[in-house]
Amino acid sequence: MLPLSRVFQVKSEGPKLVPFFKATCVYFVLWLPLSSPSWVSALIKCLPIFCLCLFLLAHGLGFLLTHPSATRIFVGLVFSAIGDAFLIWQDQGYFLHGLLMFAVTHMLYASAFGMRPLALRTGLLMAVLAVLCYAVFYPNLTGAFTYLVGVYVALVGFMGWRAMAGLHLVGAAWRWTELAAGGGALLFMVSDLTIGLDKFCFPVPYSRAFIMSTYYAAQMLIALSAVESREPVEDHRLSKAK
């Protein structure tokens, strides 16, 4: 059962997320066509991510400066917004630019989640899933995509490993932010997998709605995971590292 103090903490974050929810609603209500990319459509798409940046800033600049994991997630959100903007013009040749921005994002998130505990079995599971995903994409990849998609899939799998490795659902080390990190990483992986299937393999029905809903939910959960800093419990986790 969730301790009362943690219930209050979860509730206290809700009002700070109101701009994000409003911006997300604006995106889905306007539903600007992808066939006519513009700076307006880029702004509308990036707005929810900007709101998550403001959500972290609402905890104070001092919080970000004194907690490296939160800072990395903040910077990861910035790179995500840049990647979103590039992908607005993906049909004009900017897909690789967006891919690069999100690759940096995944590296920053993985760094924020940390390397302790190691959780090798979780890492092995994520590695198997990454190989299976790449095996699905591979027959449809050509040129530079053959290698770049492989690297990107590996980075996404690594990020997912580091997010899942931190999960402690029982005991004194349990924190709701770890569940947020794990859930966010999982949703991000699902979103990226759908993008890959839709772009390289076959048309996915309602792909845009599914991709963006899972993507925004993933980013929100990962931003929430930064609220309770990971640094103070590193020593406790070290004793449980595998």
Task: Supply the pLDDT for residue 11.
Answer: 66
Distance CA 11, CA 3 (A): 13
pLDDT in tens, the chain (242 residues): 555 455 556 667 888 999 999 999 999 999 999 888 999 999 999 999 999 999 999 999 999 999 999 999 999 999 999 999 999 999 999 999 999 999 999 999 999 999 988 999 999 999 999 999 999 999 999 999 999 999 999 999 999 999 999 787 665 556 788 899 999 999 999 999 999 999 999 999 999 999 999 999 999 999 999 987 555 444 434 434 44
User: What pTM did the predictor assign?
Assistant: 0.90
Task: Supply the pLDDT for residue 230.
Answer: 55
Distance CA 15, CA 178 (A): 21
214 contacts 191 by C-beta, under 8 angstroms: yes
Task: Supply the pLDDT for residue 238.
Answer: 40
Distance CA 10, CA 122 (A): 27
Distance CA 238, CA 151 (A): 29
Selection from 213, 207, 87, 199 nearest residue 141 by Cα: 199
